[in-house]
Amino acid sequence: MNLFTETNLSPEILKAVGELGFVSPTEIQKQTIPFISSDIRDLIALAQTGTGKTAAFSLPILDMIDDGSRKIQLLVLCPTRELCLQITKDIKNYSKYLPNIKTTAVYGGSSIMDQIRSLREKPQIIVGTPGRVIDLINRKALDFSEIHWLVLDEADEMLSMGFKDDLETIMSETPETKQTFLFSATMNKEVERISKNYLTKPHRISVGSINEVKKNIKHEYYVVGYRQKKEALKRLIDANPNQYSIIFCRTRMETQEIADFLMQNGYAADALHGDLSQAQRDTVMKKFRLKNIDILVATDVAARGLDVNSLTHVIHYSLPDDPEVFVHRSGRTGRAGKDGISMALIKPEEQRKLKQIRTSTKIEISEKKIPTGSEIMKSQVAGVFEKLFTEHEELFTFDDALIPDLSAFSKEELVHQLLQLQLRDLALFYNGRQDLADQKFNADDGRESRRERSRRDGDRRERDGKRDGGRDRKGRKAHGDMVRFFFNLGKRDQLKKMDMLEILNKATSKSRKRPNIGDIEILEKFSFFEVEKSYKDEVIRGLQTQKFKGKPMRAEEAN
């Protein structure tokens, strides 16, 4: 099957996919479409993100679905709102010429009452996130007792996000006679367990190596101290002009912090993470798809539903713990036959973690030096000419008489003057600036050294507390009973220790007893504080309802 027209899909579906530009199926589609169309067994399909899995399962099911029935026949479960909306959009596009087939998306972060109203239209297809699906089951708004097909999309990600119990609850609401299709990028122990417990003698399809990254991606890493990471990131961006990239961070706070840093430095960037409302997330993703911004800073989970084929770079601002996540991140570039670059910024003490990633994935990752100012300027000049010679579209016309007399300049002098004008600000920034390669750093550099010291002090306080009957020398509970938080505001926000105490008191004001508050450390751009462990969730909830001098507050447990 080298062409979609060689399948047994209906003319209506072939017409829809043809209008979408589909000609040749991907490898996962070549193997999956004939299987689902002709076999009654369950299926485990292993393939990387971005290989066309949605079409692989939805096209044959759309061909078999009973459009005269108003019962739910297909349930697709996926980990994030973004992916849920993307799958729904794709299925609606594929069923464009099947007017009696209705598809509804149900997901958190949007009005549940609006979704209940949409379910009254009796859709045959439901695409949902596990939490919202369970909410609707509990409200008797969803009935899966007669479904024919259940699809678990990105099963590994759903399990890693803690949806195991939710998945089992939902699957218990479905009939034993259904077909279950499990799609995953990896086959970890939890995915294996789910497949053994809930799939019956499944057929397996595996496309490529699970840990395989496309060969058209070049992998690089840069060793840099924590305090230099932001400037190193800026240099990598400046040394790679005309890029369209995603920068991956570990936490929501780090994501917002890096996005703010880039925007403050004049880059067309924005953040995508779990603290944004659905409307904000939709706006950011729309801007990125339209290339109104060319740098997206994101967490791994938030970027799951984002499908773009023209990324030039992926930058790992923070290394993931799981080597397979590194593979997934990197695989977002180098699509559609284009070359891509994956760059990782690592601290000196992370070289062992990088070695584990290299060993596990068999990826060749070359060490590079942070570009110098002169190297960056050479790249910028080359970037100007690259843009000049590749973008030929005439956007506007003007009268040649408006061009002044340039006969006093040679061609080279004129180009030199234009480049000086175009790159002036960047040249001034790097002029005389010390290169990062010349700066000394070590594993104790930056915030990590403070954290290590804090941990050592905490261990000492805990030992002292145990000797003193569970209290430290200041009478507080021992460190072992405290939880340490990372807080997004600091000195530059005019935050003081007294303010932090007042904020924490307000956050826990509904408690009968005030919590013990440990160390408060106010730094320039962020802070740390310690609170009694039993108040952890209450503090997080309480901070979400407050603002400090008009600024929203975010806290999460520190590593």
Give the DSSP per-residue string, 200-258. SS-EEEE-S-TT---TTEEEEEEE--GGGHHHHHHHHHHTSTT--EEEEESSHHHHHHH
Q: What is the CATH number of the domain that holds 546?
A: 3.30.70.330
Is residue 550 within 8 Å of residue 489, measured between CB atoms?
Answer: no
Integer Cα distance of 509 and 274 in angstroms: 26
Complete DSSP assignment for 80-137 = SHHHHHHHHHHHHHHTTT-TT--EEEE-TTS-HHHHHHHHTT--SEEEE-HHHHHHHH
Backbone angles phi, psi at 95, to 5 degrees: -100, 25
Q: Would 299 be classed as within a structural domain?
A: no
DSSP 172: T
- 132 and 64 within one domain: yes
Integer Cα distance of 70 and 102 in angstroms: 9
Q: How far is CA 478 from CA 272, 471, 507, 521, 530, in A?
A: 38, 5, 22, 18, 11
Q: Would 302 be classed as within a structural domain?
A: no
Tallying the residues shown for the chain, one arrives at 559
Spans of the chain, pLDDT less than 70: 1-2, 49-50, 160, 208-214, 304-305, 307, 336-337, 391-396, 398, 437-480, 512, 559
Would you call 524 exposed, middle or buried from its count of C-beta atoms within 10 A (0-12, 13-18, 19+)?
exposed
The last residue of one of the domains, among 206, 236, 267, is 206
Q: How many domains does the chain have?
A: 3
Q: Would 474 be classed as within a structural domain?
A: yes
Q: Would 270 be classed as within a structural domain?
A: no
Integer Cα distance of 244 and 172 in angstroms: 44
- 469 and 378 within one domain: no
- pLDDT score of 15: 94
Q: Would 115 be classed as within a structural domain?
A: yes
- 504 and 420 within one domain: no
The last residue of one of the domains, among 206, 223, 255, is 206
Full-model pTM = 0.56
Backbone angles phi, psi at 534, to 5 degrees: -65, -10
- 191 and 102 within one domain: yes
- 36 and 16 within one domain: yes
- 430 and 475 within one domain: no
The last residue of one of the domains, among 375, 410, 444, is 444
- 410 and 482 within one domain: no
- 326 and 179 within one domain: no
- 531 and 393 within one domain: no
Q: Would 263 be classed as within a structural domain?
A: no
Integer Cα distance of 383 and 238 in angstroms: 10
Q: Would 283 be classed as within a structural domain?
A: no
Would you call 488 exposed, middle or buried from its count of C-beta atoms within 10 A (0-12, 13-18, 19+)?
buried
What is the sign, positive or negative, of the torsion defined by CA atoms of 63, 67, 68, 69? Answer: positive
- pLDDT score of 182: 94
Residue reference for tokens 């991140």: 329
- pLDDT score of 40: 92
Helix, strand, coil % in the chain, rounded to nearest 5: 45, 15, 40
- Other Cβ atoms closer than 10 A to 33: 24
- 101 and 168 within one domain: yes
Q: Would 251 be classed as within a structural domain?
A: no
Q: What is the CATH number of the domain that holds 364?
A: 3.40.50
Range of the structural domain that residue 95 is part of: 4-206
Is residue 479 within 8 Å of residue 472, measured between CB atoms?
Answer: yes
- 488 and 391 within one domain: no
Integer Cα distance of 498 and 482 in angstroms: 20
160-193 burial code (b ≥16 CB/10 A, e <16): bbebeebbeebbeebeeebbbbbbbbbbbebbee
Q: What is the CATH number of the domain that holds 170?
A: 3.40.50.300
- pLDDT score of 517: 81
* End-to-end Cα distance, the chain: 50
- pLDDT score of 97: 95
Strands 217-223 and 340-346: parallel
- pLDDT score of 439: 62
- 483 and 434 within one domain: no
